[in-house]
Amino acid sequence: MSNHSSRMMATSAICLILGILQGCGDSGTNSTSSPTGGTSNQGSTPEKAPTERRTGGSMMVIPDPIVDFGDIQDYETRKATVRFSNNGDQTLEVFRVQPTCGCTTTALEKTLFAPGEGDQIELTFKPKGSGQQTKVVRVLTNDVNNPSQEIKIKANVISSVSVTPPALSFGRVPLNEGATRSLNITAPNASFTLGDVRIFGDLKENADIKLTRTSAEGALPKKWKIDVILDPKIKWGWYTGSVRVNGTVQNPGDSSPRPINKTVGMNANIQGKLQASDSMFRLLSLAQKKNFQKNIRLSRADGQPLEILSAEVIGGNLDSMNVVIKPIRNVGGGLYELTLVGNTGDTTGAITGSVRVKTNVPGEEEIDLKIAGSVRAK
- Please indicate, yes or no, whether residues 87 and 132 belong to a single structural domain of this protein: yes
**Within its chain, how far is the Cα of 25 from the centroid?**
17
Q: Using a cut of 0.75, tell me whether the model's pTM lies above it.
A: no
**Parent domain of 17:** 2-158
Instruction: Look at residue 253 and tell me whether its pLDDT is greater than 90.
Output: no
State the Cα–Cα distance between residues 82 and 65, nearest whole angstrom. Answer: 7
Other Cβ atoms within 10 Å of 220 Cβ, number: 13
pLDDT score for 332: 60
Q: What is the CATH number of the domain that holds 256?
A: 2.60.40.10
Nearest to 247 by CA among 165, 200, 186: 186
330 Rama sector, left if φ>0, alpha if ψ -120 to 50, beta otherwise: left
Q: 102 pLDDT band (50/70/90 cuts)?
A: low
Which of 108, 143, 158 terminates a domain? The answer is: 158
Find all residues with CB under 8 Å of 18, minimum gap 6, and list them: 102, 103, 127, 128, 129, 133, 135, 155, 157
- Please indicate, yes or no, whether residues 84 and 174 belong to a single structural domain of this protein: no
Instruction: Identify whether the C-beta of residue 54 lies closer than 8 Å to the C-beta of residue 72.
Output: no
Least confident of 126-135, 142-151, 279-288, 357-366: 126-135
- Please indicate, yes or no, whether residues 281 and 248 belong to a single structural domain of this protein: no
Q: pLDDT tens for residues 207-232?
A: 999 999 999 999 999 999 999 999 99
pLDDT score for 47: 45
- Please indicate, yes or no, whether residues 65 and 101 belong to a single structural domain of this protein: yes
Q: pLDDT tens for residues 298-318?
A: 999 988 889 999 999 999 999
Q: Report, as an integer, the average pLDDT of 115-140.
A: 89
Q: 133 pLDDT band (50/70/90 cuts)?
A: confident
Q: Please tell me the total count of domains within the chain.
A: 3
pLDDT score for 328: 87
